Amino acid sequence: MDKPSERLIGDLYADEHYFKKELKRHQQSFPFDPKPRYETYKRLFDIFVCLILLVPSVLLIMLLAILIVLESPGSPIFSQVRVGQNGKLFVVHKMRSMKKDAEANGQKWAEKNDPRITRIGRFIRKVRLDELPQLYDILAGHMSLVGPRPEVPLLTRQFEQQHPGFVTRLLVKPGLTGLAQVNGGYDIAPEKKWQIDCDYIQRRSWKLDLKIIGWTILTILTREGAR
């Protein structure tokens, strides 16, 4: 019998192969413009912003880590495999906002008044502070400040089977925030999220990215769309 870690690696490899195959199949019918100059400048902008926020973010992460552990013992950082650009899998990092064994019965989206969420977790989710460690993921090149939010492999596979072509949202890097997040967030269905993400991919530009960042700041201040 294979070791659990070997089975997990095998499952992840199968998922990545599946996403790449599906993306290749649907990409032919999707109007995608690579925009290499825009992508280069966007990457430089991502690095610039992350470096500016690095010191205050590290200090805030340390403070939040102490509060998280005091309420719920365990690692204050939550790591999870997500699906990135072109179907490639990567590990995303967040401040842990749920109880230690929140996914013992499997992965699922957070629900309204989810009992798995801790008190400090509910606060940091409201103001999006749980996303702070993803600045590291952006610096590492796995994510961008703006783009479709990355999903876990299980849900991505499920949504692709329910809505063939869902994987076209993987044509660009996933983002810390995105057009779908400022237009409903958790409250919109996967199909609607896919449509909004595809709209962003086709219209992506500096002007739209800056608008999304501005809308995101407004969303954080009003605490709308979070769970």
- Per-residue pLDDT tens digits for 24-77: 999 988 999 999 999 999 999 999 999 999 999 999 999 999 999 999 999 999
For residue 146, give Cα distances in angstroms to 54, 77, 164.
Answer: 18, 22, 24
65: three-class secondary structure by DSSP: helix
Going by C-alpha positions, the residue among 198, 203, 205 that lies closest to residue 29 is 198
pLDDT at 12 over 60: yes
Angle between helices 119-126 and 36-71 (to 10 degrees): 160
The count of residues in the chain is 227
Phi, psi of 89 (to 5 degrees): -85, 145
Per-residue pLDDT of 92-102, as tens digits, reads 999 999 887 66
Quick one: pLDDT at residue 221?
A: 84
**Residue 113 binned pLDDT confidence (cut-offs 50, 70, 90):** low
Quick one: pLDDT at residue 154?
A: 93
Per-residue pLDDT of 182-224, as tens digits, reads 987 767 899 999 999 999 999 999 999 999 999 999 888 876 6
Per-residue pLDDT of 116-152, as tens digits, reads 889 999 999 988 999 999 999 999 999 999 999 999 9
Percent of the chain's residues with pLDDT above 70: 87
Cross-strand partners of 179: none
Quick one: pLDDT at residue 1?
A: 37
Domain segments of the chain: what residues? 4-222
**Residue 15 binned pLDDT confidence (cut-offs 50, 70, 90):** very high
Per 3-state DSSP, the chain is made up of helix, strand and coil in percentages (nearest 5) of 60, 10, 30
Average pLDDT score over the chain: 89
Quick one: pLDDT at residue 99?
A: 82
